[in-house]
Chain A
Amino acid sequence: MELELKGITRRFGSLVANDRIDLSVAPGQVHALLGENGAGKTTLMNVLYGLLQPDEGEILLDGKAVRFHTPKDAIAAGIGMVHQHFMLVPVFTVAENVTLGIEETRPPGLLDRRKTRRDVQELSRRYGLDIDPDALVENLPVGIQQRVEIVKALVRQATVLILDEPTAVLTPAETQDLFRIVRQLKAGGTSVVFISHKLKEVQAIADTITVLRRGAVVGEKPPSATEDELASMMVGRNVQLRVSKQAAKPGDVMLDVSGLTVADETGRVWVNGMSFQVRTGEILGVAGVQGNGQTELCEALMGLRPAVDGQVVLDGRDLTHATPARRLRAGIAYVPEDRQEDGLIGDFSVADNMVLDAYNQPPFASGINLNLGAIASNAAERVREFDVRTPSPQAPVGTLSGGNQQKVILARELAREHKVLIASQPTRGLDVGSIEFVHRRIVEQRDHGVAVLIVSAELDEIYALADRIAVMYEGKITGIRPPAVPAEELGRLMAGGADIVPMPAPEPPVPEPPAPAEAPEAGTS
C-alpha cells in the first residue's frame, strides 16, 4: 500500500506544529522521520493515526483521499502504531493483550483463546519475534513488550507500521534485534515509518530519510548521507558532535565510595561492593548496559536507597546514612536519570522547579515564609543564563520540551553551592542542540574544579565527556580505563570482562544467548 501525506498542516493555537508537510511512503520501505524534539514528528504521526485532525492537507492511500476521525479508522485502513509508551495491560498474557479489542469468539460467544495463541505463534515464527503467547506481559523485558505491540499491529493487518522513537527504551542489543525484525517486516511487504532523533540508527535502518525542523520538511536524503549532513539539516546549523575540552587537572579526592552495596526491597543486590573515587576537576564516566545497577548506584549516592554495606564519603564527611536533604546541603548537585519522574514537578512553574531543592534556604525563604520575589527573580536570571525556551517563568515546566526541562534541572542544581555533580543519563531523549549545551556545561563544571560523576548508557557520551571510564557490570566495576580505550575493550568489560564479545555487529545471527544465560544468576543472588 502506498501512503502519501499532502500539505498536512496542524496548528495548536498560534503554534504551527506541522507546516504543509508532504511525505510519501512506498510499499515495503523503511521511511525514517528524523528531527529534534519538538520538530513535529509525533504530531504528524498522530494526524496519520487519527488521533489529531489536520487543519489542512490530506492523506492518500493508494491515491485515494481518506479521512481518519479516530485511530479505529486508521487501523481499519491498515495503519498500525507502536507508541513510545506501550499500551499494554501488564497482568494479561501476550495473547490476551494482542486480542484485546478484537476478541475472537466461538459459539456460544466464548473467547477463542486457541485461535489468538495460534495467530501470535504464527506471526512470531514468520518474523522471528520469539515471543511466547502465554507469557505475562509484566514479566517481559521492554524489548519483548515492544514486539508484542508490533504483533498487535500485525494481527490487525497493518500494512504501514509507525514506530515512535522505538529505540528510546531499548538496550543496544535489543535495538539490533528490533532492526532485524524491521528488515523482516520490510521483506514481507510492510512499510515502516521509523521516528527517531538518533542519526546512527536512522542511517542503519532507513531506505529514505525525511528530516523535519520546526514543523516543516527540510529535505529528503538517502541513508548514505553523512552524519554531519543530517545533523546540520536537523538543527539548521553545523553542530559539534564532540565537546572540545582540555586535559583534566585532577586535584584531591572529593567523592570516595568504598565497598558500597545496595539491594532493593526484595533483597536483590544491585550494587555489589563498588569502590571508586572521583577527584576535583575530573569527570568519571560510568559506562555499562542499562540495568546493571547504575540507577541503584545513583539512588544510593543520593540517599534515596539505603546502603547495605560500605561507605560514601564526601570531602571527608561520611554521608553513608545521610538523608537526601543533608547530602544536597553537603554539596551534591544531582541530575536524575528520569527527569520527569524524579527531577521536576510537571505541574509546577519553571520558577518553582528552579528552587525545588532550595525553597527553604535563603534568599528564597525566611522562616517558613516563601520569598516569591526572590524566587521569581532567580527564575528570570536562570532562564536567561541557561537559555531556557519557555513562554514565561510561570509556565508549567511540564509544557517545555525535554531539552528545556533538562536545562531547568541543570540551572537549579548548578546554582546551589556544590562540590560534586552526579548526572545520570544527562542527555537521554535530548536533541543534538541540547546535548551539546548540556555537555559543555558539564565540562565547564569540571574546569571549575567540581568532581563530576556521569552515568550513561550512551558510549558516545562517555567518550565525549569522561576523563576516566569505569565500566559497570552486574553491580560491580569490571574495569577503569583511560578515555583512549578502544570501544572493543569497553564492550568486553560491559559484557562482564570474561568473554570477548565484540560490540553488536549490524546483524548478529543470535545476539540474545549470553545475556539471558547469565541473568538468572543475578536474579538468585
Chain B
Amino acid sequence: MSEPVPPPATGPPEAEEQAARGSFGRVLREAILEGNSFTITVLAVFTALVVGGLINAFTNTTVLHAWGNVFSAPGHAFAQAWDTAVGAYVALFEGAVFNPHTVAALFQQASIATAIHDGYLGAVFSPISETCVQATPLILAGLAVAIPYQAGMFNIGAQGQFIGGAIVATYLGYGVSLPVVVHVVVCVIGGFAGGAAIGWIVGELKARTGAHEVIVTIMLNYVLAYFLTYLLSYRYLMQAPGTVNPITPPIAGNAHLPLLFGSHLRINAGFLLALACAAGIWWLLSRTTVGFEFRSIGKNPSASRVAGISVERNWVLVMLIAGGLAGLAGATVIQGTDFTLNNQSFGTYGIDAITVALLGRGRPLGVVFAGLLFGALHAGAPLMQAATGTPVDMVEVLQAIIVLFVAAPPLIRSIYRLRAARAGGVGLVLSKGWNA
C-alpha cells in the first residue's frame, strides 16, 4: 500500500518477544501458578473433599467421644477421626468406581462362563456402570445449562424442560407400538422435542418481549411440575390403569434404551447419547458459525448486533437446543432406568444441572467430567451409608461445598497461595456471564 508505518510505541518490544516465545512448559507452569480455571476447579474439589471429611468425622458420635478424651489418648482421637473420614470415602469409592472385594469373589468362581452367568463379572463393573447411569442425565441437563451460559443466558429451567421431554418420551413409549430400533429412536426424538418446546417458549418470550429467562424458566418449572401431576391424576390422560398412584403405565420394551453390557449392568445407550451430545455441542460451539454466533452474543451482544448477528434469533435457537438437551435427559431416565414416569421422576436434576454446568465451567468437556463426578457421588452414596453409617445426605453436602469453592476462586487462590490470573480471570468470567 504505502510506506511502512513507523512503530506507534504501544508496548515495549521485549514484552512481545517474551509472549511469542511461550513454550508448552511455560504455559503449563503459568497455568498452575496463576490459578487458571482448571487448576482452581481441581483444587476446589480437593478442598471440598477435605472439608467434607472433617464435617463427616466431627459429626460422628464415636469420633466426638474419642475427642472428649483427647488429653488422655490424643492418638486415638486423631486415629478415630481419620478412620471415619477415610472410611466413608473408601466406601464411596467402592460404590462408585471399583470394589476389590468383587474381584476376590470373581476369582473364586469355577470358570469364566459361570462368573459371567451368575453376575460376578458384572459385580466388578457394577459401580462404574452405576456412575455412568447416574451421570447420564446430569451431563445432558448440565449441557442444557452450559450452552445458554455460553450465550450469556442463565437457564434455571432444566427441570421444566426435563419434565417436558419425559412426558413426550413416556407417552410415545407406552402409547404407540413400533418396531424395535424405531421405537427407541422415536421416543428419544420425542424427548428432545418435548424439552425443546419448553425451551422455545422461553427464548421466544425473551426475544419478543424481553422477558428475563431466569424468571420465565423458574416459573415454567412450577408450571411443568403441576402439569405433570395433572396428567398423572386422570386415567384418561396418563395415569396407569388399575392404580390410584400418580404414575404412568410402563413403556414398551421396544422403547427401552439398549443395555450396553448385558443384563447385569444398568449402563445403557443413554450414556453414549450423553457423550455424543457433549461432543456435538463442543463441535457446535467451537467449530461452527452457529456456535460463533452463540459465543458472540454471550460475550458482547451489542457488538454482535453491529456485526449483523441477530441476537434475538439466537436467543430462541439457544433455548431450543438447551431445552431439547434437558428433554433428552428426561428421556434417558425414563427409557434407560425408570421405564415409568411419576411425579417425582424429575428429582433434583434441574438444580444439579446448574451445579454441574458451574463446575464444568460451561464447557462441554467440563460438563462431562463434572457429571461423572456427581454421578459417582450419587452412585457411591448408598454403599457408603450401608458400610459406614454415613448418611447419603453427606453427598449433597459434598456437592454444595464443591460448588461453594468453585464459585469463590479468590478463596482457593489464597488457600494455596496462587497468583491471581491475568486480566479477565476466573472470577470475572463467572460473574460476567451468570449475572446476565
Q: Could you list which residues of chain A lie within 8 angstroms of chain B, going by C-beta atoms?
A: 13-16, 36-39, 213-215, 235-237, 302, 304, 323-329, 334, 336, 341-348, 352, 356-357, 359-360, 365, 368-370, 372, 385, 387, 389, 391-392, 395-396, 398-401, 403-404, 431-434, 437, 440, 444
Give the chain B neighbours of A345 by CB distance below 8 A: 296, 299-300, 303-304
Give the chain A neighbours of B16 by CB distance below 8 A: 389, 391
Give the chain A neighbours of B8 by CB distance below 8 A: 36, 235, 389, 403, 431-434, 437
- Look across to chain A and name the residue whose beta carbon is closest to the beta carbon of B295: A348
B288, A392: Cβ atoms closer than 8 Å: no
B299, A347: Cβ atoms closer than 8 Å: yes
Chain B, residues 276-312, CB within 8 Å of chain A (1/0): the string is: 0000000000011111110110011011111111100
Chain B, residues 2-45, CB within 8 Å of chain A (1/0): the string is: 10111111111011101110000000000000000000000000
Distance A13 CA – B424 CA, assembled complex (angstroms): 16
B20, A389: Cβ atoms closer than 8 Å: no
Give the chain A neighbours of B308 by CB distance below 8 A: 323-329, 357
Give the chain A neighbours of B296 by CB distance below 8 A: 345, 348, 356
B110: CB under 8 A from chain A?
A: no
B113: CB under 8 A from chain A?
A: no
A348, B9: Cβ atoms closer than 8 Å: no
- Of B9, B18, B20, B310, most A-chain CB atoms within 10 Å: B9
| Known pairs A16-B12, A365-B289; A396 contacts B424 (CB<8 A) | yes
Give the chain B neighbours of A357 by CB distance below 8 A: 306-308
Chain B contact-residue range equals: 35 or more
Contact of B10 among A236, A344, A368, A401 (CB under 8 A): A401
Give the chain A neighbours of B305 by CB distance below 8 A: 304, 324
Give the chain B neighbours of A326 by CB distance below 8 A: 308
B11, A401: Cβ atoms closer than 8 Å: yes
Distance A237 CA – B292 CA, assembled complex (angstroms): 42
B306, A336: Cβ atoms closer than 8 Å: yes
Distance A404 CA – B11 CA, assembled complex (angstroms): 11
B307, A14: Cβ atoms closer than 8 Å: no
- Look across to chain B and name the residue whose beta carbon is closest to the beta carbon of A404: B10
Given A336-B306, A440-B2, 5 additional A-B pairs, CB 8 A? A13-B422, A324-B307, A334-B306, A360-B292, A398-B424
B11, A389: Cβ atoms closer than 8 Å: yes
Contact of B292 among A15, A359, A396 (CB under 8 A): A359
A433, B9: Cβ atoms closer than 8 Å: yes
Distance A235 CA – B6 CA, assembled complex (angstroms): 10
Q: How many A-B residue pairs have CB under 8 A?
A: 138
Give the chain B neighbours of A365 by CB distance below 8 A: 289
Give the chain B neighbours of A360 by CB distance below 8 A: 289, 292
Q: How far is the CB of A238 from chain B (nearest CB, A)?
A: 10
Distance A487 CA – B28 CA, assembled complex (angstroms): 58
| Known pairs A324-B308, A389-B16, A398-B423; A403 contacts B292 (CB<8 A) | no
Give the chain B neighbours of A346 by CB distance below 8 A: 299-300, 424
A403, B10: Cβ atoms closer than 8 Å: yes
| Known pairs A342-B303, A444-B1; A389 contacts B289 (CB<8 A) | no
Give the chain B neighbours of A432 by CB distance below 8 A: 8
B5, A387: Cβ atoms closer than 8 Å: yes
Chain B, residues 303-323, CB within 8 Å of chain A (1/0): the string is: 111111110000000000000
Contact of A356 among B18, B20, B287, B307 (CB under 8 A): B307
Distance A387 CA – B9 CA, assembled complex (angstroms): 11
Contact of A15 among B7, B11, B289, B423 (CB under 8 A): B11
Q: How far is the CB of B103 from chain A (nearest CB, A)?
A: 46
Give the chain B neighbours of A395 by CB distance below 8 A: 19
Q: Could you list which residues of chain B lie within 8 angstroms of chain A, going by C-beta atoms?
A: 1-2, 4-12, 14-16, 18-20, 287-293, 295-296, 299-300, 302-310, 422-424, 429
| Known pairs A16-B12, A345-B304; A325 contacts B310 (CB<8 A) | yes
Contact of B302 among A342, A385, A440 (CB under 8 A): A342
Distance A161 CA – B1 CA, assembled complex (angstroms): 46
A15, B15: Cβ atoms closer than 8 Å: yes
Give the chain A neighbours of B15 by CB distance below 8 A: 13-15, 391
Give the top 7 A-B pairs by smallest Cβ distance, nearest first: A433-B8, A325-B308, A391-B19, A357-B307, A15-B15, A14-B18, A360-B289
A-B contact pairs, 14 of them (CB 8 A): A13-B422, A14-B18, A16-B12, A36-B8, A325-B309, A341-B300, A345-B300, A348-B296, A359-B289, A359-B293, A365-B289, A370-B288, A387-B5, A433-B7
Distance A328 CA – B306 CA, assembled complex (angstroms): 9
B10, A38: Cβ atoms closer than 8 Å: yes
Q: How far is the CB of B310 from chain A (nearest CB, A)?
A: 7
Q: How far is the CB of B114 from chain A (nearest CB, A)?
A: 52
Distance A431 CA – B7 CA, assembled complex (angstroms): 12
- Look across to chain B and name the residue whose beta carbon is closest to the beta carbon of A368: B288
Give the chain B neighbours of A16 by CB distance below 8 A: 12
Distance A329 CA – B308 CA, assembled complex (angstroms): 9
- Look across to chain B and name the residue whose beta carbon is closest to the beta carbon of A299: B306
Distance A360 CA – B292 CA, assembled complex (angstroms): 9
A343, B303: Cβ atoms closer than 8 Å: yes
Q: How far is the CB of A70 from chain B (nearest CB, A)?
A: 16
Distance A155 CA – B215 CA, assembled complex (angstroms): 43
A356, B11: Cβ atoms closer than 8 Å: no
Distance A497 CA – B429 CA, assembled complex (angstroms): 49
Q: How far is the CB of B109 from chain A (nearest CB, A)?
A: 52
- Look across to chain B and name the residue whose beta carbon is closest to the beta carbon of A396: B424
| Known pairs A214-B9, A370-B287; A391 contacts B20 (CB<8 A) | yes
A214, B12: Cβ atoms closer than 8 Å: yes
Contact of B303 among A341, A403, A440 (CB under 8 A): A341
Distance A16 CA – B14 CA, assembled complex (angstroms): 9
Contact of A399 among B7, B14, B306, B423 (CB under 8 A): B423
B302, A341: Cβ atoms closer than 8 Å: yes
Contact of B20 among A39, A236, A327, A392 (CB under 8 A): A392
Q: How far is the CB of A149 from chain B (nearest CB, A)?
A: 24
Give the chain B neighbours of A387 by CB distance below 8 A: 4-5, 7
Give the chain A neighbours of B302 by CB distance below 8 A: 341-342
A38, B11: Cβ atoms closer than 8 Å: yes
Distance A398 CA – B299 CA, assembled complex (angstroms): 12
Give the chain B neighbours of A302 by CB distance below 8 A: 306
Distance A334 CA – B307 CA, assembled complex (angstroms): 9
Distance A22 CA – B423 CA, assembled complex (angstroms): 28
Q: How far is the CB of B213 from chain A (nearest CB, A)?
A: 21
